[in-house]
Amino acid sequence: MKLIHTLSITVFSFALMQTNAQIINFFKDNIYNLKYNPATEITVQRHFSIPCVSNLNFQAGTNAFIYNDVVSLDNEGNKVIDPKGFFSKIPNSSYGEVFCNMNMEVLGFGKKISPRTYFMYSTRLQMENTLFIPKGLFQFATDGNLAHINEELTISPLLSALSYLDNSIGLQYKFSSRLTIGFRGKLLLGMLNANIRESTFTLMTDDEWNLHLKGSALLNVNFPKKLISTVPTPDGKYFIEDMKNMFHLKKLKLGTMLGALTSSWGGGFDVGLDMKLTDNLGVKTSIIDVGWIKWNRNRKGTINYRVDINPNHPLYKDGELVFTGITDITTIKWGVNTIDSFYNQVIKELVLDSALLISEVKSGSYVTMTNPKFFLEGYYNLWKIHKFSALLRMDFIEERVLTAFTLGYNLNIKKLIDIAFSYSLSKGSYNNIGLGVSLNLGNRLHLYAAADNMPTLFNLYNQAANVNVHTGLFFTIPAKKEKKTNTEEK
């Protein structure tokens, strides 16, 4: 069984962390609430986006550590590196997540086609990249060999990298003043993808303190053919050199990426519900970004790479590498250059850069799932201008679940200005205060900007675990008063 399947059963965990732009959920008159729930109430007759400008969200971060966890100042004001700070915020048996996501609407519009029904269309560029780094990769360095005698530590990273065009057509239908549902069907056009299909690398220290490395990995890479260079089969080439030469990223152009759309495509859907329990109290729930993409349908763009232990390495023995230690550590220059000195000596003596070999294997089509997201929100409206919310979000990535819980408040002043505040519970990080402002000019032009981590925007270098911004502008045509009356009478 693949290692990833085993991990999903035996090491299933919830890593509390902040995910994509949650504060935008709390705006009252922002049409892009629809992104997170297609049943969100629509109060306009039509909306139009400005291509590549109306809705942009960028996020990057990690749930593992921040700069201050690893680097601190001693009594003399010198910077000191604490290896135990790496992955200090995650469970011992879990992974650290490092992520970089972006989504942007390329084109979008919507129209009320009946008093109860709203039609919506959107083409959106989605990029979701997450690297799961096992904590075992750092445990030997921080705990020492004695803490893990005859214990295998997983050092196999997991990777999910997706870039695709999300083309959706949806309808929102208002059954009554209390119940609204929304649905979007999607055509997904794959652009770029990379994922680790199999990975079984482990480290173990035996009774004589020898270090054993074994395992292999299989990597799927789907790039436009122009961007992929041929990597040599095992012939003594160094692993690091092969990895650097794998891609011709200087040829990365929009036309090249769009050319990949015809060879990789799939489908998906979003579904949402908004139910008002009383005039002021309600519950919203949705599941979005459920889908799949079959990559390399024409079998011209995908290359599978296998990473194996180098059988020609001087330390190779019976299918694994056995490191007996460094012969002389007295030459290491302790102090400011300790890390560089240690790294150079390890590379020189153990020849680590030739420990692994990468080779190309037969390419073919394969299927990956997109990253579904689940939302559950309870809200309370007070005097029509105040709204209090509590939001649970769960992201499903490579059979792992990332969760976040956010409290939100919205102030809507005469439909002219929306002000939103949020506070998110994120494991190991307590400064996730969000602020967003949306201006409604003439009930036609809307401008907005929001950030979920305001304190870190002013101190990114030292304290930022997550950077998350959301901005844009769009146009609307207000609903006619007589149509509002007809809807209420029905």
Question: To the nearest whole number, what is the mean pLDDT of the chain?
Answer: 76
pLDDT of residue 130: 84
Domain count, the chain: 1
At residue 487, the pLDDT reads 45
For β-strands 433-441 and 445-451, DSSP reports them as: antiparallel
- Is residue 342 situated within a structural domain? no
Tell me the C-alpha distance between 225 and 315, whole Å: 36
Is 413 domain-assigned? yes
Percent with pLDDT over 70 in the chain: 66
Answer yes or no: is 332 within a domain.
no
345 domain residue, yes or no: no
Look at residue 329 and tell me if it is in a domain: no
DSSP H or E segment with residue 140:
helix 136-143
CA 298 to chain centre: 28
What's the pLDDT score for residue 112? 94
Look up the domain containing 149 and give its range: 3-313+351-489
Lowest mean pLDDT segment, chosen from 48-52, 165-169, 268-272: 48-52
Q: Is residue 465 part of a domain?
A: yes
Q: Residue 28 sits in a domain of what CATH number?
A: 2.40.160
pLDDT digits (tens, 9 = 90+) for 313-356: 888 888 888 877 655 555 555 544 555 555 555 555 566 667 78
pLDDT at 305: 80
Q: What is the mean pLDDT of residues 189-209?
A: 84
Q: Could you read off the pLDDT of 110-163 as tens digits, one per residue?
A: 999 999 999 999 999 999 888 887 776 666 656 665 667 887 777 778 888 888
- Domain membership of residue 292 (yes or no) is yes
Buried b (16+ CB within 10 A) or exposed e, 184-212: bebebbbbbbbbbbbbebbbbbeeeeebb
Residue 469 domain-assigned (yes or no): yes
Q: Residues of the chain with pLDDT > 90: what percent?
A: 24
In one letter, which amino acid is 367? V
Instruction: Give me the mean pLDDT over the 406-423 stretch.
Output: 88
